[in-house]
Amino acid sequence: WGDMGHQTVAYIASNFVTTPTKTHFQKILGDTTTDYLAAVATYADTYRYTSAGLYSRPYHFIDAQDNPPSSCGVDYSRDCGKGGCVVSAIKNYTSRVQSTTLSTANVAQAAKMIVHFVGDIHQPLHDENLDVGGNDIDVTFNGVSTNLHHIWDTNMPEMYTGGSTISTAKTWATTLTKAINTGTYSSDAAGWLTGIDITDPVATSMLWAQDSNAFVCTTVMPDGVSVLENEDLSGDYYTSAMPVIEEQIAKAGYRLAAWLNLIATGST
C-alpha cells in the first residue's frame, strides 16, 4: 500500500487494541499521542531505500509462484525467497519486539516493521510473483501512465477517499472501524481472527497471505493479464476492485490490533 493505506491500517488497529496494549506500544515507540502507530506506519518503506536497509527490500511481499487466474495459492517453502519475505519478516520482528536483550532502538524498529508488514501482506499483489507483483503490467488510471501494482497500492485508495494525507487516513479508518463494529463487516470480523496464533507467526501470516492471494484470481486479474495491459482501469475495473481494497484494509487493521494485543498481553 501507499503511505495513506498503511496509515489507515495503523489507525484502525489503534481503534481496536486494548488499553494495556496501547500503553505497551506507546512506551516502545516513545510516543504517547493517539497517532503512535500511524506515525511509524511508513517507516519500513523509507528504510528499504537506505543502504543500511537494503536487506529488508524482500520483506514487503511473498512471491507466490502460482498461475493466476486459473490457479492461485501460496507455499511458504516454495515462495519465501532466500533473502526472506513478508512472512519470515513478521516472524522475525514478532520475536525481536518481545526481546529483553535487544536495544530499545531495535525493539522500536521491530514494532514499526510489524505495523507496516501486516499492512503489506493484505495487498493481494504483495502475495503474487507474476510480473513482479504486477509492477510490470502497464496500465493507465484517469489517463495517467502507471502499473497494476501501483493502482492497487495508491491510485484506487486515493481516488476513493479523495485524499492522500494522514488526515485522509484517519477519516477512512473511522469509517472502516464503524463498518467493523456495526456495519458491513460486523458479522465477518470475528472470523478474520480464525487461526491466529502468537506461537506460530509463520502459520498465522500464511493464512493472511493465502486469503489475500486468492483475490489475485477472483478480482485483480479474473480474465488474465492481456485484457488489462495498456487499458485505463479507472472505470469498471476500479468499481470491482474497491470493495476488496476496503475489506483488505479493514482486515489488516483488525488483525494488526489482535497481533499487537497478543504480543503485549497474550490474548486478543
Residue 46 near ligand DCM by CB under 6 A: yes
DSSP secondary structure string for all residues of 156-193: HHHHHHT--SHHHHHHHHHHHHHHHHTSTTTTTGGGGG
| Contacts with Zn ion, 116-135, as mask; x by CB under 5 A | ----x---------------
- Judged by CB, which is closer to Zn ion: 45, or 75? 45
Q: How far apart are CA 248 and CA 139, in angstroms?
A: 22
What's the Cα-to-Cα distance from 83 to each of 46, 129, 183, 200, 202, rounded to whole Å? 19, 15, 41, 20, 16
Contacts of Zn ion in 56-75 (CB under 5 A): 60
Grid cell digits, residue 94: 514478532
Residue 106 near ligand DCM by CB under 6 A: yes
Nearest CA-CA partner of 206 in 219, 220, 217, 195: 195
Minimum separation from the CB atom of position 31 to ligand DCM (A): 9
**CA angle 135-137-143, nearest 5°?**
105
* Catalytic option among 24, 122, 149, 255: 149
**Residue 24 appears among annotated catalytic residues:** no
**Residue 45 appears among annotated catalytic residues:** yes
Widest Cα–Cα separation across the chain: 53
Residue 154 near ligand DCM by CB under 6 A: no
- Judged by CB, which is closer to ligand DCM: 83, or 183? 83
Residues annotated as catalytic (active site), given as ranges: 1, 6, 45, 48, 60, 116, 120, 126, 149, 153
Residues in the site for Zn ion, rule: CB under 5 A? 45, 60, 120, 153
* Residues in contact with ligand DCM by the rule CB under 6 A: 39-40, 42-43, 46-47, 60-61, 63, 92, 105-106, 109, 125-126, 132-133, 135, 149, 153
